Structure 1
Amino acid sequence: MLAFGAPQGALAGVTAFKQAVAEGAARDGELAEYYRNNGYGAIWTGTGEADRARRQALLQAIDAADAHGLPVARYDAQGLLRMMRQARTPRDLGAVEIAMSRTFLRLAQDMQTGMLTPAQIDSGMVRAVPVRSADELLSGFTAGNPAGFLRSLAPKSGEYARLLREKMRLESLLETGGWGPAVPAASLAPGQSGEGVVALRNRLIRMGYLERTASSRYDIALQQAVMRFQEAHGLVADGTAGAQTMAEINVPISRRLPMIHVAMERERWLSGPRGARHILVNLTDFTARIMDDDRLTFETRAVIGKNLKTHQSPEFSDEMEYLEINPVWNVPRSITVREYLPQMQRNRGAAGHLKLYNSRGQEVSRSAVNFNAYNARNFPFALKQPPSTRNALGLVKFMFPNKYNIYLHDTPSKSLFDRNVRAFSHGCIRLQQPFDFAYEILSRQEADPKTFFDRIVNSGRQTRVSLEQKIPVHIIYRTATVPAKGPAQYREDIYGRDAKVWDALQKAGVSLPAVQG
């Protein structure tokens, strides 16, 4: 019997080991290239201290994977140990070598950039995940401290660290009964008392929204606790536990934990540097934020795409390059032929705020066009809306050119920002406070950004203002976030994307603790 890690000695044994490594790696081009470049040498199965340290670091990292919401069984540590114990020949050791490298790569990539491929789950999740190559991961791992390398793989963002802590907190609570019994009332209001109020009080205490109290009345302290809960769940913060608020209060931890798991996986998809200054648009809470070093600098309400497959806002990252002030709205082809062409076929004067242009960019009189002679496939004209306060883009748009034709912009439809759920656009992101947003964006390059911006707006001329330093823009979809201060925030899964992600995570082996609450 050949003991695991024993010297391979004879040339025949070395050759057999290398042949086994080459054969085992052959079906994976990147892995094969790595071993070809290192002469098919061992990095796991040698007798030296470095190999032992790598084996130990990998097994310890697998054991700790659950803390990151990764399923330990996915990496089959017991199977690896069994292969090690049963290795009797150099060829056996070669098989162990490749099995350990494959397991390492799976764990490393899962930890750093997630288990799932976003676009395979939902067509709106078009985020490009920065997966590192096998050579980069294996070379980095073998070049330094193996345990330290594995610890370094998880996302470095403050959000990921906070999600990790929230996961542990909820799991601990789950083991001791969760948030307690559900509140046995459809709704409750200030001034009431009784069993339902006591249950509401106890549940909010357990959740951390209310200091411990013996009061059985829906008093001012309970009302303020309800308001804090409502604010953390994207509800109207009126302090009354109406039907919608009560439904959210009665959601058990076993339904919140999957939201944390999904958020952690999503954070791994965005594991690269976000940029010291960046713009963060969270579709689920209808906000756009300017962030500086993980701190909120500016926030405004936003309107996102309607919950229709053709209108849902996609998730991706890009860089803002310029502002277009007093923009012309070039009506997208899809909107032109689906929405405006049928209107103009019924009444050529419909949508009179839009001008018609031919393929040479010349304006065409509507009276010269028989709209009923065309359909969505052969309509040869473009529609544009000139700059004005009634322009669909408002008076400014913020450009990060992308193939999805998505950008941030002003809007004349201000009343929509008063809604709690704000999904009304064709996909672009409308801002409630676009001027203030622009002032902050320009503050890094203009001594008096307000005067600079307002002067251009007042000119009425379409003007492009380039940014001296591009700003990363991240359009994300998070139903669970954990701010640096305050309680975890939860939002509705408006497009149903997180349900698909959770389903995929479960199929990959993720599960919750057996205790429910």
Structure 2
Amino acid sequence: MRVFERDFLGNYLIRITVCLLLFSSCGVRRANTSQAAANYPTQISIKSRPDIKQDSSGNHPELTRKQKALRAAFIDVLETKSADLPFPDLINSIYEKKGYQPVLVQKFFSAQQLQTLSDCLDNSITHGLNPEQFFVTGLKYQLDEVIHQKSSDTVRIQRGLAKLELAVVNSLIRYSMAMQYGVTNPAKIYSHYATPTLIPDSSSVIGIFEIVNLKIYLDSIQPKGKTYLALQKVLKRLDADTMENEDSVKLIMRQKLVVNMERLRWKNKPADQKFVAVNIADFSLDVMDNNKSVLHMKVCVGEPGDKQTPQIGSMIHSVQINPVWNIPQSIARNEISRYASEDRYYLSNNNIKVFKKGKLIRDPESIDWSAIDVRDYSFQQQPGAKNSLGKIKFLFKNGSSIYLHDTPVKSVFKQGMRAISHGCVRVEKPLDLAFALFGKGEKYDQLKKGMESGYPRAKFMGLPQQIPVRLFYYTAWLNEKGGVRFGKDIYGLDQLVYDEMQKKQF
């Protein structure tokens, strides 16, 4: 049989069948869809059955025998396939309210609509993903089974349609979530991650059943960011080249592209048009406004290991001019006490006050710092030219006592490798950053005057409007000319993301 004739007969059969099944469901009363709350897919078995009123004998008088058989067939398939579905409770609830009908197949069955979905799943490799994690082979198999169905048994046809329906639901939900949220949850991957990140919920599933045009929907969920598209373009070119000439360098580059495209799919960007973005791996800061960088500068970040700068999402709410540095106990124990034991005047020369149980120590030079328990003391560096925080620090709420700050040692910004701090972020142009946050006006003038004063005094000043700040970690990004640049994975986080993505590759 020629392809045209086969497709024509297949489509003709399915349209007749769909009409028959639609007609057979007319006697069912349908309730409103309920919303079952869920975060991530769980595997359970379906226990509920159609909510149809029974008479005293337990029969369903509003359904014919054939109608009950058709519904029972769909329910049986749904129960069998439940463990493979994301959000199984919610999906069962939706189909229960819809009378256990293949609603998506009824809506989308045509060579164009479902073929478009199949093509999108195959094309997911251009997003660095494996099409099989969206069960593309199973979808194609069920579609082929329905098209070539030769039986006239409506119950058997219903089972085939149910299997195709659930294959469409399974693939479409998983693909939609991957494109819009990523396939991994960064909060479960990283130990130092405190950025608000949206994850799929029940509304994501319910929305699948409200799609009108499948092609338009699939086009709408494709990532469209400038950086993402640039990385995707390089990945396509690399994959085409790797097929002919595979080597370890290209494989490493491909992994870096795949990982950073996944990071770009995470929904962790602030909704505000203006925000401060720090790329930890690039040692850079940008003030973004309407998707454009209006200020760029170098930064220093935490050393690898237990001093690494965490990924954070918060709001910059204020600054402290001529800040006081309350030295963390770990730094006091490992560094300050050692310097003080080697140089008895180190503390006074660096304008560091010492307290014991809250009481100021007048003569810290008399203490043998190599022989005492440093945990009994606290250290506070006063404002001045030698203060490690420089002349200003930018404050935002977080659980790691991290902030952006100035530094008196400007030479560090000439270094290529700038993962040298204890965790906080040193900024190259603090006054420029302050102007970007405060804008022109009296507050900024006061701030600038305070920073330039020869008699520095600590002073807090609130921003006119809080500004979002995001501390990200990208090892591939766009340079000034729009080309893709690859950076060093200073904290070894790329492999963590890649390994987690591989767990999704069925």
TM-score for both structures, normalised by structure 2? 0.73
**What SS does the aligned partner of 2:457 have?**
coil
8 Å CA contact retained: 2:316, 2:468: yes
1:163-182 to structure 2, matched below 5 A, reads: 163-172=231-240
Match of 1:69 in 2: 128
The structure 1 residue matched to 2:200, chosen from 132, 151, 161, is: 132
Match of 2:63 in 1: none
Q: CA deviation at 1:141?
A: 5.4
Larger radius of gyration: 2
Q: CA deviation at 1:338?
A: 4.0
Match of 1:11 in 2: 68
8 Å CA contact retained: 1:25, 1:98: no
Structure 1: distance between partners of 2:426 and 2:113: 51
1:135-150 to structure 2, matched below 5 A, reads: 135-139=203-207, 142-150=210-218
**What SS does the aligned partner of 1:64 have?**
helix
1:289-304 to structure 2, matched below 5 A, reads: 289-304=286-301
Q: Which digits, 9 at most, give the CA deviation of each residue in 1:219-274, with x for residues without a partner?
A: xxxxxxxxxxxxxxxxxxxxxxxxxxxxxxx9954443332222211111246456
Structure 2: distance between partners of 1:38 and 1:321: 48
Alignment-mate amino acid for residue 110 of structure 1: A
Structure 2: distance between partners of 1:272 and 1:428: 21
Structure 2: distance between partners of 1:121 and 1:289: 26
Change (3 A) 1:141 1:433: farther
Change (3 A) 1:81 1:40: farther
Change (3 A) 1:285 1:25: same
Structure 1: distance between partners of 2:320 and 2:208: 44
The structure 2 residue matched to 1:36, chosen from 93, 96, 105, is: 93
Query: Is residue 48 of structure 1 aligned with residue 106 of structure 2?
Result: yes
Change (3 A) 1:141 1:347: farther
Instruction: Say which is worse superposed, 349-358 or 155-164, in terms of deviation.
Output: 349-358
The structure 1 residue matched to 2:262, chosen from 237, 262, 265, is: 265
The structure 1 residue matched to 2:169, chosen from 73, 86, 101, is: 101
Q: Which digits, 9 at most, give the CA deviation of each residue in 1:452-492, with x for residues without a partner?
A: 32123226232222223222222222221124734322222
Aligned length: 432
Alignment-mate amino acid for residue 288 of structure 2: M
**What SS does the aligned partner of 1:454 have?**
helix
Match of 2:318 in 1: 322
Query: Is residue 413 of structure 1 aligned with residue 413 of structure 2?
Result: no
Match of 1:220 in 2: none
8 Å CA contact retained: 2:95, 2:101: no
Match of 2:450 in 1: 456
Query: Is residue 280 of structure 1 aligned with residue 274 of structure 2?
Result: no
Structure 2: distance between partners of 1:103 and 1:398: 46
Structure 2: distance between partners of 1:91 and 1:313: 54
Match of 2:381 in 1: 385
Structure 1: distance between partners of 2:494 and 2:97: 42
8 Å CA contact retained: 1:127, 1:316: yes
Match of 2:41 in 1: none
Structure 1: distance between partners of 2:435 and 2:97: 58
Structure 1: distance between partners of 2:315 and 2:402: 12
Q: Which digits, 9 at most, give the CA deviation of each residue in 1:315-354, with x for residues without a partner?
A: 2322222222111112223323444456668888764433
8 Å CA contact retained: 1:159, 1:483: no
Alignment-mate amino acid for residue 440 of structure 1: A
Q: CA deviation at 1:393?
A: 0.8
Match of 1:431 in 2: 427
Match of 2:481 in 1: 485
Match of 1:354 in 2: 352
**What SS does the aligned partner of 1:415 have?**
helix
Alignment-mate amino acid for residue 456 of structure 1: G
Cα RMSD of the aligned pairs, angstroms, is 3.7
Change (3 A) 1:351 1:94: farther
* Structure 2: segments with no counterpart, 5+ residues: 1-12, 25-66, 147-155
Structure 2: distance between partners of 1:43 and 1:410: 63
8 Å CA contact retained: 1:306, 1:425: yes
Q: CA deviation at 1:289?
A: 1.4
Change (3 A) 1:80 1:473: same
Match of 2:8 in 1: none
Q: Which digits, 9 at most, give the CA deviation of each residue in 1:269-289, with x for residues without a partner?
A: 246456322212112221111
Alignment-mate amino acid for residue 290 of structure 1: V
1:217-232 to structure 2, matched below 5 A, reads: none
* Structure 1: segments with no counterpart, 5+ residues: 179-249, 511-517
8 Å CA contact retained: 1:112, 1:271: no
Structure 2: distance between partners of 1:96 and 1:363: 76
Match of 1:244 in 2: none
Structure 2: distance between partners of 1:364 and 1:278: 43
Alignment-mate amino acid for residue 382 of structure 1: S
Q: What is the identity percentage for the equivalent residue pairs of Structure 1 and Structure 2?
A: 27
Q: Which digits, 9 at most, give the CA deviation of each residue in 1:22-71, with x for residues without a partner?
A: 67447978441344155353575566334658744532321221222221
